[in-house]
Amino acid sequence: MLEIHDLHASVNGVEILKGIDLRVDAGETHAIMGPNGSGKSTLALVLAGHPAYEVTSGSVSFDGADLLALGPEERARRGLFLSFQHPIEIPGLRLDHFLRAGYNEVRKSRDEDEMDVLKFDRLIRAKAKDIRMDAALTKRSVNEGFSGGEKKRNELLQMAILEPKLRILDEVDSGLDVDALRSVADGINALATPQSATLIVTHYQRILDYVVPDAVHILIDGRIVRSGDKQLAAEIESKGYEPVAEAAGLAPAGGS
Amino acid sequence: MSAQATDEARYLAAFEAAERNGAAHDPTWLRELRRDAMAEFTRAGFPTARRGNEPWKYTDVRSLASTAFVAPDVTEPLGEIDLSPYDLPCPRVHQLVFVDGRYAPQLSTDPPSEGERASHVFFERGDGPIVGRIAEAAHYDVPLVREHLGKHAGAAAGAFTSLNTAFVRDGAFVSIPDGVSVPEPIYLLFISTARPERPTVTYPRVLIVAGRDSSATVLVSFESLGDGAYFTDAVTEIVAGPGASLRCITLQRESDAAYHVSTTNVTQARDSSVSTVTVDLGGGLVRHDLSVLLAEPGASASLNGLYLGRGKRHVDNHTFVDHAVPGASSDEVYKGILDDDSRGVFVGHVLVRPGAQHTVAHQVNKNLLLSDGAEADTQPKLEIFADDVTCTHGAAVGQLDPAAMFYLKSRGIGEAVARALLVHGFVREVVDSIADDAVRQYTDDAVMAALRAG
Ligand SMILES: Nc1ncnc2c1ncn2[C@@H]1O[C@H](COP(=O)(O)OP(=O)(O)O)[C@@H](O)[C@H]1O
Ligand SMILES: [Mg+2]
């Protein structure tokens, strides 16, 4: 489904991604782990098409298409979804209006009819219930005044509504307590299908206890320095990133 | 004779012709009101000076002054007009429609006037509002009209007000009797046919008198059927009695070639509350002068506005809030969206007179610039002559947040819709200040349609 080959990307002229190779197939869950500042969010944002990040070389194919040639909205319409590490607040834009606009734009791109307000309202309520989110939040401005956990749930709600093929979840567990983490993880698992794939981007291993990965990749200083199975996540949990970084001849970027 | 004198002379000639034709039935006070106004206009002239002309320093009306607008041809029958695009999402109860300045009975809720019925409208309704024509009210010499017409937008309000008054024959007269609450919105619709071959001038006039403890919502709309150039010189006078609660929404969607100059004067008695919302989605050159006189303690005014600049549109909002007494409050929020080569001007003047203690006055103007060619000028003018007051003002000019733009796109929303949603979010606060559900919905749809049309 997703094939990344020797991907280099810069922001403001500074190279952050220094040659990423990764292949994710349908039905798989991969985890990208790495210390703060190693480039995890950069990778996620580059895949989603953030204009501030410049791809300087390499290629990415998504479902056979050249992903890097597509604008962010086109990537989303083809089934790529990014759950943001820091979802933005948009004063004045009602969440349900935003959700419906996105849903209908995706439908239109598939030559399907737009869904009217009443039907969509029912859809929102059903999906919110599935992921145990208070549907009243959708009458408020997008993320405005939401708690950290509510913002993450809102990302999940959008994912539930858009039913993407490739789900990129950037630090989906940050700001969640244990119970919230479990229910968010349940949501992620429940929404998975054999046709979809998941890329979990995380600093901590704990989400991987709930959403079990098929493969784990360690990203340090813009490179994947080691890949393995879920045992690798457990190893990071007990020993930290330093031994992996040292073995790769690097000091881990950022803090611990 | 200078070129400028010629411009005013054209209006004087039109005035004299109008006075010769059919003004004889009007009461003397009205003829005198018009004559004095014409004299005032001739004396003052159009405010075309480009130096030492502070109120007009951002807005150049020379092309307006020099264009030879003519009176609409009143002998021509009104063609079929489909009003359905202007229907409010609620039952039609009180609706007055004027087309090119002419009352259109077949489009209005009140049937054509016949003497007896009209006198009933003005003198015998006790429990409902009076929504009638100034022409009829003047004919029957309704005391409220004589008392208020031209008294709140006097000569001091400027040449455009005088010009309107000089030609006042008809318009909308709304009176809410004491203690009456009108549940349905009162809808005053001024339509211009805007045929390109004949640039016309009309003088829409509205007088709203809200009695003691009354309550009503009035929507005043300016719509255009064509894309020709024309000149709308509108004047609205609003009088809110003690404890009255009045909401007045103005929706301006004139043609891109139109000149729209409006003057609105509000006078508020004790404990009254008046909320104005001024929405500009059309017009070529647009100027509003909105003045609120808080004449007695406990009065509160809310002034909200939103303007959408497209093409070369120029929208100038001048507001003036006069805190003449202690213990009154005003709250003002104007938001501008400026695209292409448009320009938005906001000058918010707040005067707290000596002794007007415990005044609360807030003012905010925010502009969103969507292109390099767009321009926003914002100027708060606070004059405070009392010491125990709470006055704030703020202004901001910004651009669309690229992070928000990306967030929307990442959910499949394309550039145009994403912009429309974000811009709509920016002005939603203003639309939401409209309390009446039907008028708010209608206005919101109009704003969204205008945004998506870009
Ligand atoms: N927009 C940006 N401008 C400048 N530097 C950036 C920007 N985004 C990320 N960076 C830098 O890129 C590096 C990687 O950041 P990020 O991808 O967010 O790391 P992670 O998600 O692994 O913590 C950091 O050094 C960060 O400061
Ligand atoms: Mg990150």
H or E stretch at B271: none
Q: Which of A93, A138, A151 to mutate to test the interface with B (most CBs of B within 10 A)?
A: A93
Tokens representing B72 are: 């609409």
DSSP state of B86: G
Nearest by Cα to B50 from B37, B59, B42: B59
Please identify, by atom number, the ligand 1 atom nearest to the C-alpha of residue A34: 22
Give the per-residue pLDDT at A39: 96
Query: Is the pLDDT confidence value at A253 over 70?
Result: no
The pLDDT tens digits for A209-232 are 999 999 999 999 999 999 999 999
Q: Does B415 touch chain A (CB under 8 A)?
A: yes
Task: Tell me the DSSP string of A175-227.
Answer: T--HHHHHHHHHHHHHH--TT-EEEEEESSSGGGGTS--SEEEEEETTEEEEE
Over range B293-309, report the average pLDDT. Answer: 98
Tokens representing B89 are: 């999402």
Give the per-residue pLDDT at B357: 97
B407 contacts on A by Cβ (under 8 Å): 84, 87-88, 90, 142
Over range A65-75, report the average pLDDT. Answer: 97
Please identify, by atom number, the ligand 1 atom nearest to the C-alpha of residue A219: 22
The pLDDT tens digits for B171-186 are 999 999 999 999 999 9
Give the per-residue pLDDT at B152: 84
Q: Does B409 touch chain A (CB under 8 A)?
A: yes
Give the per-residue pLDDT at A35: 92
A76 contacts on B by Cβ (under 8 Å): 409-413
- How high is the mean pLDDT of chain A? 91
Please identify, by atom number, the ligand 1 atom nearest to the C-alpha of residue A201: 21
A103 contacts on B by Cβ (under 8 Å): 412
Q: How many CB pairs under 8 A join A and B?
A: 81
H-type helices in B73-158, by residue range? Answer: 115-123, 134-139, 143-148
Give the per-residue pLDDT at B118: 65
Backbone dihedral angles phi then psi of residue A238, each to the nearest 5 degrees: -85, -35
The pLDDT tens digits for A123-146 are 999 999 888 888 899 999 999 999
Q: Does B406 touch chain A (CB under 8 A)?
A: yes
Give the per-residue pLDDT at A252: 55
Higher per-residue pLDDT: A182 or B98: B98
Query: Which three-class secondary structure string do you get for chain A?
Result: CEEEEEEEEEECCEEEEEEEEEEECCCCEEEEECCCCCCHHHHHHHHHCCCCEEEEEEEEEECCEEHHHCCHHHHHHCCEEEECCCCCCEEEEEHHHHHHHHHHHHHHHCCCCCCCHHHHHHHHHHHHHHCCCCHHHHHCEECCCCCHHHHHHHHHHHHHHHCCCEEEEECCCCCCCHHHHHHHHHHHHHHCCCCCEEEEEECCCHHHHCCCCCEEEEEECCEEEEEECHHHHHHHHHHCCHHHHHHCCCCCCCCC
Nearest by Cα to B165 from B44, B345, B318: B44
Out of A52, A73, A94, name the one closest to residue B413 (CB).
A73
Query: Is the pLDDT confidence value at A238 over 70?
Result: yes
Nearest ligand to the CA atom of A17: 1
Question: Which amino acid residue places its CA nearest to atom 1 of ligand 1?
Answer: A11
Give the per-residue pLDDT at B155: 53
Ligand 1 neighbours (beta carbon < 6 A): A 11-12, 16, 34, 36-42, 52
Out of A99, A105, A158, name the one closest to residue B417 (CB).
A105
Query: Is the pLDDT confidence value at B265 over 60?
Result: yes
Q: B400 near B422, Cβ under 8 Å?
A: yes
Over range A104-110, report the average pLDDT. Answer: 90
Query: Is the pLDDT confidence value at A83 over 70?
Result: yes
- How high is the mean pLDDT of chain B? 92
Q: B414 near A105, Cβ under 8 Å?
A: yes
| SS3 of residue A240 by DSSP | coil
Give the per-residue pLDDT at A205: 87
Cα A225 from Cα A36, distance rounded (Å)? 15
Give the per-residue pLDDT at B112: 45
Query: Is the pLDDT confidence value at A256 over 70?
Result: no
Query: Is the pLDDT confidence value at A179 over 90?
Result: no
H or E stretch at B13: helix B3-20
Nearest by Cα to B307 from B391, B375, B379: B375
Nearest ligand to the CA atom of A43: 1
The pLDDT tens digits for B2-34 are 445 578 999 999 999 999 987 778 899 999 999
Higher per-residue pLDDT: A192 or B392: B392
Q: Does B422 touch chain A (CB under 8 A)?
A: yes
Report, at the CATH architecture level, how domain A2-247 is classified.
3-Layer(aba) Sandwich (3.40)
Over range B209-232, report the average pLDDT. Answer: 96
Amino acid letter for position B238: I
pLDDT band for B115, please (50, 70, 90 cuts). low
Q: How do the domains of chain A map onto residue ranges? A: 2-247
Q: Does B89 touch chain A (CB under 8 A)?
A: no
pLDDT band for A72, please (50, 70, 90 cuts). very high
What lies within 8 Å, CB to CB, of B260 at 6+ separation is B222, B232, B234, B252, B254, B282, B283, B285, B286, B287
Q: How many C-beta atoms lie closer than 10 Å to residue A124's C-beta?
A: 22
Higher per-residue pLDDT: A235 or B208: B208
The pLDDT tens digits for A147-176 are 888 899 999 999 999 999 999 999 998 878
pLDDT band for B1, please (50, 70, 90 cuts). very low
Question: What is the Cβ-side half-sphere exposure of residue A129, based on CA atoms within 13 angstroms?
Answer: 6
Q: Which of B14-28, B137-151, B208-222, B312-326 is the least confident region?
A: B14-28
Q: Which of A28-32, A73-77, B115-119, B344-348 is the least confident region?
A: B115-119
Tokens representing A79 are: 């089934």
H-type helices in A37-94, by residue range? Answer: 40-48, 72-77
- CB distance A73–B410 less than 8 Å? yes
Give the per-residue pLDDT at A17: 96
User: What are residue B173's DSSP bridge partners?
Assistant: B132, B207
The pLDDT tens digits for B224-243 are 999 999 999 999 999 999 99
pLDDT band for B125, please (50, 70, 90 cuts). low
